[in-house]
Chains A and B, each alone.
Chain A
Amino acid sequence: MKFNYLFLVIIIFSSSFLFSQKKFQVKGFGHLGYDVEYHEDDEEVDLDYVLGEQSLFISGSLAKKFSYLGEFSLNYDHHTNAVRASIRRARVKYNYFGNHSVIIGQMHTPINYWNDVYFHARIFYPTADRPLSFSYFIPIHSLGIRAQGQNIGKLNFGYDIQSSSGHGIDGTNPSFTSAMHIKPVEGMRIGASYYYSHLKDVNALHHQHSEQQNAASNYEGTLDYQLLSFSFARFEKSLEILNEFSTAITTTDSLGTAYNYSNYLYIGYNIKEKHTPFVLLDLLQSAENDLFIGPFNQLKFGIGYKHEFSPALNLKCQLERYTAIQNMSNSSNQAPNGYEFSIQLSYAIY
């Protein structure tokens, strides 16, 4: 808890300092919600009010061609009844030529559209939750150095080449990311990426991420982790589409190479920039010989509705069914079955 108070003090003092600099902008975003979950396996219903992540966002100019961006969040942990402070992004960007930059610090790994564009801001999420792959495959944050190019040529080509600390930002696993995308027309982005990390101790990593506690967490050896991702996004038109596909390839000395897959699909139809009914389909499967998340498969599908009061305030209602993928094995680590209805109010202070 000491750290939380320290965090608040830093924010309060730095805010007044930054405001006095005038070239800095302080913004924020967050969400609140209510979840009703029916667990089919034990026939229980959970009702929860959700105090979602509350974030402060600071950006500004440091010197000619140098800029800073910071994102700090407070999260309420329902299990421990504690508030957790996190530094989500803290990076300095040097725009050395045209649309080419070098960025140093903590960033969101430019793996796919979702992680590169939405960050932690629920106001931008098309559905209430992140894709399943974010709980298992996606190295959300990374600390390191990145070469970035944006909006190059008529196709608005963009690239990211990054060397950083790997999964969980534990500072011990070096990783490499290479990503590229094009934006051929307004509102559309097509991208692909490759991520590589050498994990020295998978067991230690699992202890940092409670969602990855499973059979594979007993594995104490090294693991080569490769992630190939493909994204297609189309927004700013009536028909909205987002598809996130990932293949996680894990290699260990003991069980060889395992191929794991996930695909998230969102289709929404925006009516008068206010009403967006949508459907979602999300599936994930890891192989029997995988030692990163263990053999596992899950399917999630649902329908929802987003109501936009303004660009800075929206309400999402979503009903989803989650279960294991039929005709798949992995019975040793069976996904839970159930239904979830969630209401989420997302906002940005802008």
Chain B
Amino acid sequence: MDTNFQYNYLMQFIKSTISVFVAAAFFFLINGNCFGQGYSSRIKICGNSIDQKSFSKSDVDAILKGKINNWRNGNTVLIVLNFSENGNAEYIAKQVYNKSVKGVKKFWLGVVFQGRTDAPIFAEDNEEVLRLITKNKGAIGVLVDYKGEIPAEFKVKITKSSL
């Protein structure tokens, strides 16, 4: 078998493989999930010494998915989620991550071992989220069905349009 034949055979294979995957990539690209709406009224976001008091939902999504490691003020991003087992974990998983609870844990396991960012703190209730927010500069927290008053310095407003 001569070298040219081998080369042609492989190139043929590579060409066909690449075209299949490029086509697949575009197919999945146009079928991607897009979420333009804000969070439900059950969810409240709070933060301590983070850059702004107002974020678009897409910005908060990116932060809560670990896509930003540090705030512009130099503080490290620390994510705190009310991930209690009374249904709040399922609610946050669906609303914020569009995943199951297991999917969220698997997602963070991968991100953390890649060294991309630190794991979030999975708090037991809203009070623990607020306690951790108060204690840690750079922390951003997600509360579910919180009836109390969030201290003014920790309040974060979500706008529907992208910044």
Contacts and interface: CB of A to CB of B under 8 A. Distances in A.
| Pairing of A with B | yes
A95 interface: yes
Contacts of A243: 17, 21
Contact of A232 (B21, B33, B74, B110): B21
Contacts of A124: 110, 113
Interface in B29-64: 29, 31-33, 62
A59 interface: yes
A221 interface: no
* Interface majority SS (helix, strand, loop, mixed), chain A: strand
A232 B17 CA distance: 11
Contacts of A61: 76
Nearest to B10: A261
A27 B112 contact: yes
B55 to A, nearest CB: 15
Contacts of B69: 67, 95, 99, 101
A59 B118 contact: yes
A296 interface: no
Nearest to B70: A95
Interface stretch (A182-190, A199-207, A335-343): A182-190
Nearest to A190: B25
A263 B17 contact: yes
Interface stretch (B79-87, B96-104, B147-155): B96-104
Nearest to B6: A328
A25 B119 CA distance: 9
The winner among B24, B28, B29 for most chain A CB atoms within 10 A is B28
Contacts of B112: 25, 27, 59, 350
Nearest to B104: A311
Contact of B24 (A230, A241, A288): A241
A116 B113 CA distance: 11
Interface of B: 1, 3, 6-7, 9-10, 13-14, 17-18, 21, 24-25, 28-29, 31-33, 62, 67-70, 72, 74-76, 98-100, 102-103, 105-107, 109-110, 112-116, 118-119
23 contacts: A59-B118, A65-B74, A93-B115, A99-B69, A119-B114, A121-B113, A184-B25, A184-B29, A184-B32, A186-B98, A188-B32, A236-B99, A241-B21, A243-B21, A245-B17, A261-B14, A273-B106, A287-B3, A310-B102, A312-B109, A328-B1, A328-B9, A329-B6
Given A57-B113, A59-B112, 6 more contacts: A27-B112, A95-B69, A150-B116, A230-B18, A310-B105, A311-B105
